[in-house]
Amino acid sequence: MNKHPLNRRIRLAGLAMAAGTALAAGSAQAQDKGSVHLAYVEWSSEVASTNVVRAVLEQAGYEVEMTSLSAAAMWQSVATGDADAIVAAWLPTTHADYMERVGDEVVDLGVNLDGTKLGLVVPAYSDVDSIAELNDHADDFNGEIIGIDPGAGLMGLTEEVVDTYDLDLALRSGSGATMTAALESAINNEEDVVVTGWTPHWKFARWDLKYLEDPENVYGGAEQIHTIARQGLEEEMPEAYAILDAFEWTPEQMGEVMLMNQEDDADPYENAKQWVEENQDVVEEWLPES
């Protein structure tokens, strides 16, 4: 039996309101299999993955509710059982503090996406292949690195990169939107540009890009995105648990959905349903054998 499903829903709604977000109810025709509650953080990658998992669970006959929370609240909601699962756990580094805090209270189902990466990104046509080469081409890049929000962890790491490599390029803060706008403008004019980047991101699906080599390894190694479930889910909803456990895709597949979500008036849920419908060969690998 699910423990106090109404109370869980009320608490999730309260968490969502506290985070300034909304609780979205699934609209699928559930076949009396029950309701699965997914929490997520409002990153474009996690919006894509959580909506895809929602569409797959709905295809299998479940009703699905999604709650957008801060990263800390998202982890806590699974630990307390208010949410059934997340597919948005960046490990071993980004969410290390949360895993250390509640790891004993949740179930790690393992990697659902391998190949996440942080670094400096340039168009594939650029002659520069390494961060160590940037100073020799500083004028080509207008003496600047185009960054994102000043408080982002990626910006802190990039400041370390500037110091470690003694770069003559200034790190310019902005937002994810201004970063991709600068990238698009440079590519349209076949100019050099260097931006802070991470995978998965839809820009890799839209343009031919490359990471600059980081011989000093300031940005660190690749991370993975994990699926985390609440304790007791496997016993109470074994089929839903099996789907969550089997869910695994590639940065390229995620990039397709993220790119769809960049279109004007895009609906991430409708896009996820479309992707699931058009990729049933992939989806079948996540569904238990009937």
Task: Give the per-residue pLDDT at 134.
Answer: 98
Question: Measuring CA to CA, how many Å separate 230 from each of 3, 42, 43, 184?
Answer: 12, 20, 22, 41
Average pLDDT, the chain: 90
What pLDDT is attached to residue 222? 82
Summarize pLDDT for 75-91 with one digit per residue, the tens.
Answer: 999 999 999 999 999 99
Q: What pLDDT score does 16 carry?
A: 57
Q: Name, in order, each residue with C-beta under 8 angstroms of 145's C-beta and a sequence gap of 6 or more.
A: 120, 158, 162, 167, 169, 170, 171, 172, 194, 195, 196
Contacts (Cβ under 8 Å, ≥6 apart) of 166: 135
- pLDDT of amino acid 7: 54
* Average pLDDT for 187-213: 96
Predicted local distance difference test score (pLDDT) of residue 221: 81
Closest to 141 measured CA to CA, from 171, 165, 163, 118: 171
pLDDT computed for residue 9 by the predictor: 53
Q: Is the confidence at residue 73, as pLDDT, over 80?
A: yes
**β-strands 144-146, 170-172: how paired?**
parallel
Place of tokens 């081409």: 137
Distance CA 245, CA 240 (A): 9
C-beta of residue 34 within 8 angstroms of C-beta of residue 237: yes
- Convert the pLDDT of each residue in 203-247 to its tens digit: 998 999 999 999 999 998 888 999 999 999 999 999 999 999 999
- The tokens for 56 are 């797959």
List pLDDT tens digits, range 10-33.
555 555 555 444 444 443 344 579
pTM for this model (two decimals) = 0.79
Tens-digit pLDDT profile for residues 107-153: 999 999 998 989 999 999 999 999 999 999 999 999 999 999 887 77
What's the CA gap between 14 and 141, in Å, rounded? 47
